[in-house]
Structure 1
C-alpha cells in the first residue's frame, strides 16, 4: 500500500546546503533522504520509495552529469528538480529536454517557489504511484480471477460430462417403446434431468425432474435423484414381490430431499407404462406443463395438474397415482417449464394452448417441438430445457 509519508531525496555534496535544506523540508513534514556523495544516490533510490529528487547539480562535474542521466533513465517516473548555476536560457532548455521536471538557478533566491514546486510534484508523484499500485493490484486480481474462472470452467465441463453420462441415450428402444430425450441448458450444468429403466415385469419406469435454480447445486441434486430413485426402486421390488408403486417412490424421494436440507425443491413427473403398453400410471409432483398425449388422432394434456406438491417443500406432502389408458399409436411428450420461457407469449394460460397448437402443427415429438420453437438455433436460453418422449411401436 502506498505510504502517506512524502519522501524526497536530496542530492548535494555541500554539507551546509545539505544541513539547511534537510532541516527546512523536515519542518515542512517531508521525510528527507540525503546523498552527500552522488555515488550513494542510486542505491537510495533502489531501496526507498522516493517521491521526488532534489538535485543540487554542478554541470562541471562529469560524475554528477552521469548520475543525472542514470536517474532520468532508470527512474523516469520520479520528478527530478535541479538547482544549478544557469548561464543562459539555452542551459535551461537543454536540461528540460533531457527530462528534468523543473530547473531553479543558483543562488537560490526563490525558496517559496521551490517549495511550491516540490509540493506540487510530490502530490502528482504520489497520485501516480498510487494509481500504478492500484493498477498492479487490479492486474493481479484479474489474473487470479481469470485463473479461478478457468478452473471453474474446467470443473463445470467435468460436471457436465458426468451429468450427461448419467443420462440415458438420446434415442432408445426399450420393451417395444421408442424413447427419446432432448436437453439444452442455460449454463454448463443443467437442473433438468430425465431417466428411464425397464423393470422385471416388462414395464418401463420414467421421470422428468426439474430442480429449482441453476448451476452446480441444482445439477448435483439431479445426480442424487438418479441414485435415490434407483435405490428406492430396488427396495420396492424386493419388498413388494416385483410390484412398483410410483406414489410410494415419490413420497420416499420427498422425504430424502427434505432430510438433505439443501434449500432446493424439485418438480417431477414420474410414469410407469405397463408391460403390455396399454396403461400409463403416473404421479405429478408440481410438474408444469403437464405432458401431452397423442393417440387416436387426439392431442390433449394429461389430467392431474396441481395434484400434489413439488418434492422437498413439505414433509407431509402426499402423492397419488393416476391412470391413463393407452392405444397402440400413442405418443407421450414431456417437457420442463423452460419450454414455456421461449414461447412468444406473456400469458401463461395461453402458452399451454400455443404449445398444443405447435405440437398439432409440427408433430407430437421432439423433432416437432425443436423445429417449432427453433431450439436448435438458440445460443442462449433463459432456463434449462428438457424434452422427453415415449412412443408406442404403432405410432407414426
Structure 2
C-alpha cells in the first residue's frame, strides 16, 4: 500500500476513554499526521493549551470534571487559541446537542462511532484552513510592521523641526497637513536654503496610491535632496525632474504633478514653475486673496518639456497655500469644494473666522477640512503653506 501523505499541523486529542483516545491517535497517524498530543481530561487539556497552540483540537464532550463544552469555551475565550478549529466528537447526535456544541464554539461535530476516513478528512480540512489562516495572519502582521516603518520613513522626508527653524530665521514659515488615503501615500514636499537667504521648495502629488506611490515619492526625494547645484534656476530643476522622472517611470504611465518655487523674503518675490498641480492661492496680509495658476504638464510625462518661470510678489504677512487633488475630488458631499477657486473661498472664510497664526495655517486648514469632509476624502491629502513672517534676520 502507498504511504499516506505527510500532513503538517499539531493535533490535540482529548478523550477520557483510553480506547477511543488511542484509536483516534492511531487513525490520525495512519492518515499522515505525525505531531499528535493527547489529554485524558478537560483539566489536562487546559494545561496543555496553556503552553502550546495546536492547529486542531479533537474534543470529547462527556468527561468527568471539566467537560468538552467548557474546554471549548475556554479555547474561544483565550485570544491565543481563539482561532483554533475545535471538532467535537460525541455520541449525542440530537439537534439540540449539535446546537449546544456550536454555541460553545465548536467548528465541527463528529458523531460516534467515528469513521476513519471521515475523521482524517475533517481534521485535514480544518487543520489546513487553520494553517493557511495563521500564515495569512503572520503575513498581515509583518505587513503592518513594514507599513508602520514606511510611515515613519515617509514622515521623515519633509524638512525636520531644525530645518523649519532655519527657514523661520530667514523669515519664512512653512506648515503642512499630510493625510494619506491609505497607510502611506505619495503626497510630498521639501525645501532647501540658498546662501543668499532665498529658499527653494517643491510640492508634489505622485500619481497612484499606497505603497507604489510612496516608493515613487522616495525616488522623487532622491532627485531633490540634496538639491542639485542648478536648483537656483527653477527651469533647469524642472528639466532635470522631467528627464529623470520620465526615465524612471517610463512605461508605467505615472507622473508627478507639482510645483517648483523659490521664495525671496528680501525682495518679496515668489518665482515658480507649475507642473500640473492644482492652482494654489496667496492669502494677502490685507485679508484679500488671489489665485496662483500652476498649470502645465505634470513632471515626467515629456522628457524635454519647455517650461517658464512665473513671478508673484510675496511680502511679510502674505502666505502661499498649496494643496493636492483630494480637496476638490469629493463627489459624495454636497458642500465639498468643486474646484480650486471654491476651495480658496472656503479656506479664506475659515481664515477670516479663526485667524490662525501664519505658522499654523496649513495645519488648521487641514484639520477643519478633515472635520467637515474627512470621511469622504478618497485620495492622499496635502495642504502646504509658506508664509513670509518678516524680513529675514540679517547678520
Matched, 1:302 2:273: no
Task: Provide structure 2 residue ranges, at least 5 long, that are not aligned to the other structure.
Answer: 5-21, 33-57, 61-89, 94-111, 353-360
Q: TM-score, normalised by structure 1?
A: 0.62
Which residue in the other structure is 1:113 paired with?
none
Aligned in 2, Cα 1:181/1:304: closer, same or farther, shift over 3 Å?
A: closer
Distance change (3 Å), C-alpha of 1:99 and 1:318: same
Instruction: Determine helix, strand or coil for the equivalent of 2:258.
Output: strand
The answer to whether the 8 Å contact 2:31/2:120 transfers is no
Matched, 1:158 2:159: no
C-alpha distance in 1 between matches for 2:376 and 2:333: 18
> Structure 1 residues 280 and 302 mapped into 2: Cα distance closer, same or farther (>3 Å)?
same
2:311 to 323, 337, 350: 323
Instruction: Report the equivalent of 1:149.
Output: 140
| 1:312-367 per-position Cα deviation (integer Å, ceiling 9, x unaligned) | 22223232211112233211111111222358657998433431221121118325
Pairing 1:235–2:229 present: yes
Q: Does 1:211 align with 2:203?
A: no
Do the aligned partners of residues 371 and 159 (structure 1) sit closer, same or farther apart at CA in structure 2, a change above 3 Å counting?
closer
Please tell me whether the aligned partners of residues 273 and 310 of structure 2 are also in contact (alpha carbons under 8 angstroms): yes
Residues of 1 paired with 2:389 and 2:59: CA distance? 83
Cα distance, 1:185 vs structure 2: 1.3
Aligned mate of 1:271, from 261, 277, 285: 261
Which contiguous aligned blocks of 4+ residues in structure 1 show a shift greater than 4 angstroms? Answer: 40-44, 98-101, 121-129, 342-349, 375-381
Q: Output one character per residue of 1:175-215: Cα deviation in whole Å (capped at 9) or x when no partner.
A: 11111111111222221111111111211111211111112
Calculate the TM-score normalised by the size of structure 2. Answer: 0.62
What's the counterpart of residue 222 of structure 1? Answer: 217
Q: 1:247 is paired with a residue of what secondary structure?
A: helix
Aligned to 2:177: 182
**Is the CA contact 1:338–1:382 (under 8 Å) kept in the aligned structure 2?**
yes
**Rg (Cα) greater in structure:** 1
Count of aligned positions = 287
1:1-396 correspondence runs (5 A): 45=27, 47-49=29-31, 99=91, 126=117, 129-169=120-160, 172=165, 173-231=168-226, 233-236=227-230, 244-261=232-249, 263=252, 264-288=254-278, 290-295=279-284, 296-305=286-295, 308-342=296-330, 350-363=338-351, 365-375=361-371, 378=374, 381-393=377-389
The root-mean-square deviation of aligned C-alpha atoms, in Å, is 3.8
Q: 1:359 to 1:381 in 2, by over 3 A?
A: closer
Cα distance per residue 1:218-269 (max 9 Å; x no partner): 11222222221135x33216xxxxxx21121111112111222362311111
User: Per-residue deviation at 1:302?
Assistant: 0.8
Q: Which residue of 1 aligns with 2:36?
A: none
